[in-house]
Amino acid sequence: MSDNVHLDPTVDLFAGSVAGWSGSYVSTETDMLKHKWFRHCWAHSWLSIRHRTAVKVRLQNPEVASRYRSVFHAFSTIIREERVRGLFRGISSPLLTTAPLNGVVFASYRFFLKLQLEDAKAQPTLFQVTLAGVGCGLLASIVTSPTELIKIQQQSIIIPAKGVAPSVRDVALEILRRRGLKGFYRGFFPTAIRETGFGAYFGVYEATLMYFSSPSEPLPHSPQDRSPLLSEAAQPPSHTKPRSHSYPVLLLAGGLAGAMSWIVTFPFDVIKTRVQSTLSPGSDNPYRNTLSTIVHSYRQEGLRVFFHGLTPTLIRAIPVNMVTFATFETIVQALS
């Protein structure tokens, strides 16, 4: 990387963290509104699934999935047997890391992008954008793998309404006792593959901004016209200020990016959940590793098993990532 390439990880980290908080807030508010408006409606059960709630994990976990006939049945059964708190058990570990991890993702994305450029004025290609996204996703999996393992272990346990659910500490100590420190990275490979979806995430986002740039204006990756995600990769002349895209375009790009990142890697989310739902590496466990999980799941349930929960996940991902990208762009523009 050229010495002329300007890096400002502090701004990226701060903007990414705030964007992560904003996305979490939208996600939480959407849940609250659904509880008020769809309390007795099947749509409530369908829309309330998110990648951090127990319904999706239960449906993907073969050890307990047979208890539920459908999304609605899973939702209503958990409410009846475990009350509302059963839906959100296990979200504390990923929720606490969402904002700072989002900051790391955005900061490392720009770092990996600039690492590929020959000099500070080089224009990143969409391939380089995608490659940088893959890199930051692999880096993020170091944190997401153990936190999601703890979450899945918590959410896979069926606790009666008056029972006491194991805490994050209890689950972490049990993993440490049974598997040692390496046990926290059970399911790391499918987690890392899933996180490579950040390549599609950033690639689709930048491609959408490029598509909606006016033909009469400079190309979106030129110094005069690029998103803040790319604006630091090649510094504009001192008399030129980077142009911001309109908020409708930013929101659309963010929504498409969020949806595509899940579509291309969702089967590995199912595989990851199945691997992490058990801690036994023994040969008698069909979910002992990634390959055995793929083979056994396909033989038992067919190809469709790898897409369980995709539709509600997309419904959740679109508004959250619309807000996440718009927030990040706004903060970086303001601090530049």
Look up residue 45 and give its two tokens. 């059960």
- pLDDT (average), residues 74-91: 58
Per-residue pLDDT at 54 exceeds 60: no
Per-residue pLDDT at 252 exceeds 90: yes
225 pairs with which residues across the strands? Answer: 222
Per-residue pLDDT at 179 exceeds 70: yes
- pLDDT (average), residues 305-320: 85
Range among 5-9, 92-96, 244-248 with highest mean pLDDT value: 244-248
- pLDDT (average), residues 304-308: 89
For 119-128, what is each residue's pLDDT tens digit? 767 788 999 9
Residue 209: pLDDT band (50, 70, 90) is very high
Look up residue 159 and give its two tokens. 């606790």
Q: Please say whether the beta carbons of 202 and 229 come within 8 A.
A: yes
Q: Which amino acid does the sequence have at 315? A: I
Residue 100: pLDDT band (50, 70, 90) is confident
Residue 2: pLDDT band (50, 70, 90) is very low
Percent of the chain with pLDDT over 90: 32
Of the given ranges (6-20, 70-84, 153-167, 254-268), which has the lowest mean pLDDT? 70-84
Quote the Cα angle for 224-226-229, to 5°: 135
- pLDDT (average), residues 179-195: 94
Helix residue spans in 116-197 (DSSP H): 126-155, 168-179, 188-195
Range among 38-42, 50-54, 134-138, 332-336 with highest mean pLDDT value: 134-138
More confident residue, 220 or 155: 155
More confident residue, 138 or 94: 138
Per-residue pLDDT at 240 exceeds 50: no
Residue 310: pLDDT band (50, 70, 90) is confident
- pLDDT (average), residues 195-207: 95
Residue 43: pLDDT band (50, 70, 90) is very low
Q: What is the pLDDT of residue 181?
A: 92
- pLDDT (average), residues 308-329: 86
The span from the CA of 149 to the CA of 141, in Å, is 12
The span from the CA of 255 to the CA of 316, in Å, is 10
Residue 290: pLDDT band (50, 70, 90) is very high
Domain boundaries, the chain: 38-213+244-335
Q: What is the pLDDT of residue 244?
A: 62
Contacts with 182 (C-beta within 8 Å, 6 or more apart), sequence order: none
CATH architecture of 38-213+244-335: Alpha/alpha barrel (1.50)
Q: What is the pLDDT of residue 67?
A: 66
- pLDDT (average), residues 71-84: 61
